[in-house]
Structure formats: structure tokens, C-alpha cells
């Protein structure tokens, strides 16, 4: 494999010199995930020191974000942008429909930040709603998401209530049994 060489001005060293391209597999951490294996891109100077791409300083960070999204099955920035374009909404309108801040959505779409699980669920809910209805309007998605969560919580609450009822019945029967044994044994003694 031929190593690519390129001249860059290095503002830290304040000189222009030739660098050799290097690709290195490294373990990265994004949020709670600390074992992402990512192939990072570097330029090595004549002293053997590695430097990030001078023309694209966020390149390795974005590669880390991509690996994190892949691991968590999150939508990619270009998929989110495509959905926004399919809906014919600008960033502010799309953020408003989702109940998100404009700046946050803009950073996510430009791969400057990774979305949270909650935000990714909103994006997927929007995509699913668009895929089934061809629209997004008529109801605010954050309300749809809240309703979905409330339904899940209600189902869990009903299950918890039935467990509590069964537990109470068990306690009553256990207490009756203990009382019966006490009375029976007490009479025999």
C-alpha cells in the first residue's frame, strides 16, 4: 500500500512541512460507551508525531460519533436531514414539530453532537409517522411520544398493581395460616 504524503502548514509548529498519512484503529469513548473500535485518520510529521487532519480537524470525532450511532442503532445525521427535507420543513420548523431546540437539532444534523436516546426515538417516531401517513402535521410529535411513554407506564403500572394485589392476598393467607397454627398449637399445649 502506497503511503500518501502531503504538505500542510502546522499552526502549532508554525511551519509548512510534509506529512505521511496514517490510519490507526483505536479504542474510543462516546458518552457511556467506552469500547468503540474506530479507524482514525492522522498525518505523521518527520519526527513521528501524529496530527489530526489540518483541513478537517473534527474528522476523527465524527468517525467516533458514527461508530456510536451504529452501535446504538441511532439515525445518522444525513437520514435526519433527509426526513426534514422530505417533510419540506426548515430546521426551526422541524425542531418545533419535534419539541426540540433549534440549536440542538442543527448540531445533530451537522454531526457536531450525538443525539440522546430520547431524541433518536423522536426522530424514528417522525420517520415512522411520515412513512405511514406521508405527513407529520396534525399533532405535535413530542405529544405522541409522551402518549407512547404514558401507555407503556400505564401497562407497567397495571402489572405492578396486580402484583401488589397478589402479594397482599399472599400476606393475608400467610397471616391466617400462622394464626391458625398458633391457636391450634396453643390449645394443645
pLDDT digits (tens, 9 = 90+) for 101-114: 999 999 999 999 99
Q: What is the pLDDT of residue 182?
A: 46
Q: What is the pLDDT of residue 145?
A: 60
Contact in structure between 95 and 101 (CB atoms under 8 Å): yes
pLDDT digits (tens, 9 = 90+) for 32-57: 999 999 999 999 999 999 999 999 99
pLDDT digits (tens, 9 = 90+) for 159-185: 666 656 666 665 555 455 444 444 444
Topology adopted by domain 77-138: 434 Repressor (Amino-terminal Domain) (1.10.260)
Q: What is the pLDDT of residue 155?
A: 73
Domain extents for the chain? Answer: 5-72, 77-138
Which carries the bigger pLDDT value, residue 21 or residue 148?
21
pTM score above 0.85: no
Amino acid at each position: 500500500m502506497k503511503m500518501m504524503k502531503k504538505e500542510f502548514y502546522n499552526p502549532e509548529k508554525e511551519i509548512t512541512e510534509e506529512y505521511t498519512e496514517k490510519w490507526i484503529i483505536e479504542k474510543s469513548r462516546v458518552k457511556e460507551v467506552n469500547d468503540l473500535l474506530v479507524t482514525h485518520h492522522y498525518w505523521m510529521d518527520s519526527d513521528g508525531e501524529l496530527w489530526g487532519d489540518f483541513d478537517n480537524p473534527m474528522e476523527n470525532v465524527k468517525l467516533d460519533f458514527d461508530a456510536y450511532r451504529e452501535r446504538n442503532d441511532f439515525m445518522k445525521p444525513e437520514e435526519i436531514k433527509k426526513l426534514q427535507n422530505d417533510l419540506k420543513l426548515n430546521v426551526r420548523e422541524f425542531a418545533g414539530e419535534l419539541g426540540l431546540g433549534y440549536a440542538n437539532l442543527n448540531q445533530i444534523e451537522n454531526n457536531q453532537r450525538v443525539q440522546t436516546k430520547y431524541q433518536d426515538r423522536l426522530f424514528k417516531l417522525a420517520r415512522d409517522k411520515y412513512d405511514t401517513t406521508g405527513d407529520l402535521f396534525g399533532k405535535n410529535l413530542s405529544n405522541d411520544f409522551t402518549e407512547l411513554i404514558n401507555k407503556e407506564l400505564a401497562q407497567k403500572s397495571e402489572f405492578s398493581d396486580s402484583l401488589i394485589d397478589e402479594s397482599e392476598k399472599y400476606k393475608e393467607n400467610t397471616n391466617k395460616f400462622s394464626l391458625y397454627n398458633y391457636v391450634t398449637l396453643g390449645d394443645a399445649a
